[in-house]
Structure 1
């Protein structure tokens, strides 16, 4: 069972086709992992074992008849509890959500996976409405890092990252409104991909509007590419969805990086980065040079866009809370209420000025990518820190000090970005590099990540010797 739970999507599909393995056995293996580890790590808000086994049995019949439903028939997957799932409540990590209501829709990404036969195991934990970079909420409690249970996996897609790391399912849907997939990917040592905004349709619209990307957290780059082939399609419910480009994200995945122009920015010119993290990132960047890329150390040249990003988050929080009754608002976390109160005081002129500044940043990055195919940075300047706090200890006394400066700029610019595991500190904690490409160049990010993975395979907690 343990070995089955560690198999990739491609391996599983091949074994299904050869009738050497059943979707039922694979689903049982994933559920066994959940039963073994979830009490310790708290990665799931809800597990639907009965429905998952029924879906797996239906998949098994299709494979035995030689008629699989699609590209991921029988592959176990999870959905972050911000994404709608038909038949299961979507509580968004909040006590404010009314559970007793019909749950009759799947979010687009969930729907696409189910249409092609994937087996939904359950919903993974999130911070309340995804508002903070750790996965802790009054509803579901604390989600813990599998490398050290006293530490956070980050957030807000922390449950999905932990599930990926421990083999509790194969494909894991996450969201990223400012780093919410890439942050936990880096802190747990898995691959986290945020596609170009609109490449994966989203519905209903997030309170943060078009900062919000739907992506995946997985154990291998190829798994991410397979998932993108299924979920990267428009949906009539999403006004922002991009046209279908008919891209096969598994094609040319092994193309490599030879000849690519890569900009390496250690700190954007203004961020503080832990020395051990910086050394591991630099070593990873050197790998790209050895693989034939033309690497230049250069900053993208923008001023810290933190205030721009905060304006949109504050306005979004204000909008979100206005949709709840006073009784519902009263049970929402104080930190989110405080952000909403700041958003209440924003003027229209301030919001529109932030929009102008965002557009200027996006134009600057478009020009930057005229000279560089890719940009590589640390995913985070720090490693995992203790649970029970929203920030690393050294950052708590200075709220203006930014512990996640590398992620949210690319939500503002809507570019594709991935966190790729690049090694471990002397204390055995994962570190990630971030690979960014120009808007719409999603495949290029995956190709670069795959090139790195091919010479530096990712290590998961159950197989790590630490």
Structure 2
């Protein structure tokens, strides 16, 4: 509730400055976390294997990361990456529809409170491994995106407002980020 309230206040400031806000309840019909995880772990594995193809330094890898590599190698199929690409295409088609209604999409950057250290973020007070669920769909679609500080939680943690644009809409995203920074005028030095 706190993250949403801070982001809604930012939207209110945009409306007061003359921006028309169109509310979209759900952008996608499901959370593509597994597909994103498959693709991102595969990309990381490719990078690591490129540097250490014989796995001679495998023991130096963070245990969480090596565990994800093992998960991928046990669960991925020859068609897994293609299935992820198919989903990314479907998500892109949905975004094309959305960007016919509105030129830009604004969402909270993350679904809950920013974590401290290496913990997961909190969503409704509970640790949630998908606390970044508002970011990875746009990594899958390769949509231009950025974030601006919309304020701070009561405990001093930053709250981001994510700006997502249509394919090749990088300039639109950058302009909106600059407009948000000017409109919100948030002092980005933590108040605590």
Q: TM-score range by the shorter chain?
A: 0.7 to 0.9
Selected match of 1:391 from 120, 132, 136: 120
Q: Does 1:307 align with 2:37?
A: no
**CA–CA distance in 1 between the matches of 2:28 and 2:36?**
17
**CA–CA distance in 1 between the matches of 2:17 and 2:113?**
27
Match of 1:454 in 2: 182
The list of structure 1 runs, each at least 4 consecutive aligned residues, that deviate by more than 4 angstroms after superposition, is: none
Number of aligned residue pairs: 185
**CA–CA distance in 2 between the matches of 1:328 and 1:305?**
32
**CA displacement at 1:465 relative to structure 2:** 5.0
**CA–CA distance in 2 between the matches of 1:357 and 1:334?**
29
Q: Does 1:402 align with 2:123?
A: no
**CA displacement at 1:431 relative to structure 2:** 0.9
Q: C-alpha root-mean-square deviation of aligned residues, in Å?
A: 1.9
More helix per residue:
2
Cα distance, 1:320–1:352 mapped onto 2, change above 3 Å: same
Match of 1:331 in 2: 60
**CA–CA distance in 1 between the matches of 2:179 and 2:55?**
52
**CA displacement at 1:379 relative to structure 2:** 0.5
Largest Rg, 1 or 2: 1
Contact 1:423 1:432 in 2 (8 A): yes
**CA–CA distance in 1 between the matches of 2:84 and 2:111?**
26
Cα distance, 1:465–1:390 mapped onto 2, change above 3 Å: closer
Runs of 5+ consecutive residues of structure 2 not aligned to the other structure: none
Moved more, 317-326 or 300-309: 317-326
**CA displacement at 1:354 relative to structure 2:** 1.7
**CA displacement at 1:458 relative to structure 2:** 3.3
**1:339-418 map, 5 Å:** 339-345=68-74, 346-387=76-117, 389-392=118-121, 394-395=126-127, 401-418=129-146
Q: Does 1:286 align with 2:12?
A: yes
**1:2-401 map, 5 Å:** 275-298=1-24, 299-323=26-50, 324=52, 325-345=54-74, 346-387=76-117, 389-392=118-121, 394-395=126-127, 401=129
Contact 1:416 1:436 in 2 (8 A): yes
Cα distance, 1:362–1:344 mapped onto 2, change above 3 Å: same
**CA–CA distance in 2 between the matches of 1:309 and 1:465?**
34
Larger RCO (alpha carbons 8 Å, 6+ apart): 2
Contact 1:277 1:425 in 2 (8 A): yes
Match of 1:83 in 2: none
| 1:54-109 CA distance string (max 9 Å, x none) | xxxxxxxxxxxxxxxxxxxxxxxxxxxxxxxxxxxxxxxxxxxxxxxxxxxxxxxx
User: TM-score normalised to the size of structure 1?
Assistant: 0.38
